[in-house]
A and B are shown apart, each in its own frame.
Chain A
Amino acid sequence: GIQVEQSPPDLILQEGANSTLRCNFSDSVNNLQWFHQNPWGQLINLFYIPSGTKQNGRLSATTVATERYSLLYISSSQTTDSGVYFCAVETGIYSGAGSYQLTFGKGTKLSVIP
């Protein structure tokens, strides 16, 4: 199956700093999503981004599908950004009633300190 590797595994930032999280995947994908899991375990969808660039406030993401990687940018980090960031991909061929399986990376644990 497809392999999803995220880097770095751990990241400690001073509040206000910027960061880039990376997600590499081993095969072509038709779906890529970034999630944030807060320290209480809640999972929030950040971006659906199989290709191109999107921005939402201080967060932005870029996926270069031909080179099989995606980047998540966090600018002016805040303590509320702490948690684990997951990249997840799907490779299934859309058939209307076919399978849907997201494969998750192991995540990047971000700690933002005041």
Chain B
Amino acid sequence: NAGVTQTPKFHILKIGQSMTLQCTQDMNHNYMYWYRQDPGMGLKLIYYSVGAGITDKGEVPNGYNVSRSTTEDFPLRLELAAPSQTSVYFCASSYAQGAYGNTIYFGEGSWLTVV
């Protein structure tokens, strides 16, 4: 069972470079999310999507972009990387929203360092 798959697991990026974190899920979930986790902190929502073609900003969207062309894939793009974007990034998915018992499944995380 693959679940939520993220790539790459580790990456070092230079200041000003751009890159895309890939995320795919095989559970046919409508909702997908990108979170970042800084050391000693909880997760903060960057962007989310409620279905193909629909995305919206979360709490910390600046410096990131997303797209959702298919149900399965939800890539996160970092434009003009900055040291403040050094973090662990988690992709997640869920079938439905809170009122319906929304269990959220996380990928294994992508460790990104900007130098």
Q: Which residues of A contact B (CB under 8 A)?
A: 1, 4, 30-31, 33, 35, 41-45, 48, 50, 86, 88, 90, 92, 94, 96-107
Contacts and interface: CB of A to CB of B under 8 A. Distances in A.
22 contacts: A30-B99, A33-B104, A41-B108, A43-B90, A43-B106, A43-B109, A44-B106, A45-B103, A45-B105, A48-B102, A48-B103, A86-B43, A96-B97, A99-B48, A100-B31, A100-B33, A100-B94, A100-B102, A101-B45, A101-B59, A102-B45, A106-B41
Contacts of B41: 106
Q: Is the interface of A mostly helix, strand, loop or mixed?
A: loop
Contacts of B103: 33, 45, 48
A104 B42 contact: yes
* A-B interface, 3 closest residue pairs, ranked by CB to CB distance from nearest: A104-B42, A31-B98, A94-B99
Contacts of A50: 98
Contacts of B94: 100
Nearest to A86: B42
A68 to B, nearest CB: 16
Contact of A98 (B58, B97, B109): B97
A42 B37 CA distance: 12
